[in-house]
Amino acid sequence: MENAEKIVEQAIASYKHMPFETAELYKKYVVNFLLPQGAKAGDGAGIEELRKRITDESRLRFDLYNGKDGLVSGSEFVRVSKKDTREYKEDAKAGFEERLGGYVTSRSESVVEVHIPEGKEAKLNFLFLCDSSSMPLEVVVNAAAGSHLSLFEWFGSSPGSECASMPLHVVNAGDRSNVEVNVLHNEGLETSIGALNKISAGEDSTVRLNGIYNGGRITRSSTFAEAAGKGSNLLVNEIVLGNADQKFDVNTFILNSNQMTRAVLKTGAVLKDRSFCILKGYAKVERGTNGSYSNVEEKGLVLDPDARIQPLPDMSIDCKDVAFASHSAATAPLDREALFYLMSRGVDETKAKRIFVASFLSKYLAEIENDIVKEIAISILLDKLDNGKHSPVPRISMQNLWIVPKKK
């Protein structure tokens, strides 16, 4: 217990150079997506409060930083542009989507627009490197009806670079589209990461966001993912691997807002040394979304006594006729019995631990459809586990990996 308190103190102390962050961190323990006073579950106030918080929180975060865009390898489907950040004036009466979209647009200096036309297929890889002065980077993905997109984004920064990495994603998946967005946060251990994702899945579409949080000194992410179209299938799959003094604050909100939708949040965190992680997964099943499926599952593996994971799953079901709705959380240290079992088969302790952790992570890695991403993620994560090493920039041959699709 003494250790846990010490870690929280250290975490708060580490935010001190940004005064509002202290309050934010503190709020993680006491606010926890509570409904406003007097509000009842199902009356819509909860979601409004949550939406307001996401907007307000993102405002606080991104106002703080200056920025720069990254290096992008483009294709026929990708457009990169610079823009004037002073254009936008917020309309307080506008709806959440408009406000958020406007906000994102206004704060980003660089915009990467991915547009996949109807029925087309694309596999894109982006490498974003930030340095000491970074502006938010906006990635807008628009997958038209029936299109198929597999996107991989590698975020990195130079070792020792005390910069901010702030990607803002807006993903609109059209009807019957199949979209996979893989975001690997592998920035250096001196980099602060602030990530905002907004995802909307159209009718009968399949959308998956695989977020791999490996790098960064402090990481904060807010994801809002909506299974909006009837029959849409949405998965947010998050992997967190922390060591040394890394801190992660991962906030994810999944929403079923139409009938026969499926929205799933799976988060797996493995922490070593003195690292610290808050996982806030919130699911809401809106009224009238009959036949929907919603599940939040947060799992953590703590490898050292000073590491700490705080999972906070939550759920609000406002529909009486759901197919399935559940939320759960579990964290545990390495299972000594499992280690004994593996060692009794001749496997040494170090290898046994590695096998156990890799097995834990494999459940989440298995959700990644893009095999290249899967391979890279496995290699980076295991390297960090085995050697405590962190490789903020790719060590692989860019020539072979970062392929710009040929024009058809």
Both structure tokens of 303: 């490898």
Rounded to whole angstroms, the Cα distance separating 155 from 12 reads 26
CB of 212 to another protein, least distance (A): 16
Which of 266, 274 has the CB closer to another protein? 266
Which of 18, 382 has the CB closer to another protein? 382
Question: In this structure, what are the phi and psi dihedrals at residue 406, rounded to the nearest 5 degrees?
Answer: -75, 150
Report DSSP letters for 161-203, one per residue: ---EE-EEEEEEE-TT-EEEEEEEE---TT-EEEEEEEEEE-T
# residues contacting another protein (CB under 8 A): 25
Which of 145, 343 has the CB closer to another protein? 343
The region of 130-138, 192-200, 204-212, 331-339 touching another protein under the rule CB under 8 A is 331-339
Report DSSP letters for 13-52, one per residue: HHTTTSHHHHHHHHHHHHTTTPPPTT--TTSSHHHHHHHH
Report DSSP letters for 97-139, one per residue: HHHHHHHHHHH-SEEEEEEE-TT-EEEEEEEEEE-SS---EEE
Rounded to whole angstroms, the Cα distance separating 27 from 46 reads 17
CB of 246 to another protein, least distance (A): 23
CB of 94 to another protein, least distance (A): 45
CB of 299 to another protein, least distance (A): 10
Which of 344, 397 has the CB closer to another protein? 344
The region of 57-65, 225-233, 329-337, 380-388 touching another protein under the rule CB under 8 A is 329-337
Question: Which among 395, 403, 392, 397 has a CA at the least distance from the CA of 185?
Answer: 392
CB of 8 to another protein, least distance (A): 30
Rounded to whole angstroms, the Cα distance separating 221 from 290 reads 30
CB of 386 to another protein, least distance (A): 15
Question: What is the number of other CB atoms lying within 10 angstroms of the CB of residue 219?
Answer: 25
Rounded to whole angstroms, the Cα distance separating 302 from 305 reads 7
Which of 12, 343 has the CB closer to another protein? 343
Which of 207, 377 has the CB closer to another protein? 377
Can you give 350-361 as a three-state secondary structure string?
HHHHHHHHHHHH
CB of 54 to another protein, least distance (A): 32
Which of 351, 389 has the CB closer to another protein? 351
CB of 379 to another protein, least distance (A): 17
Both structure tokens of 309: 């994971």
Which of 173, 380 has the CB closer to another protein? 380
Region 332-391 residues binding another protein, contact defined as CB under 8 A: 335-338, 340-349, 351-352, 355-356, 358-363, 366
Contact call for residue 38 and another protein (CB under 8 A): no
Rounded to whole angstroms, the Cα distance separating 126 from 141 reads 13
The site for another protein (CB under 8 A) is made up of 335-338, 340-349, 351-352, 355-356, 358-363, 366
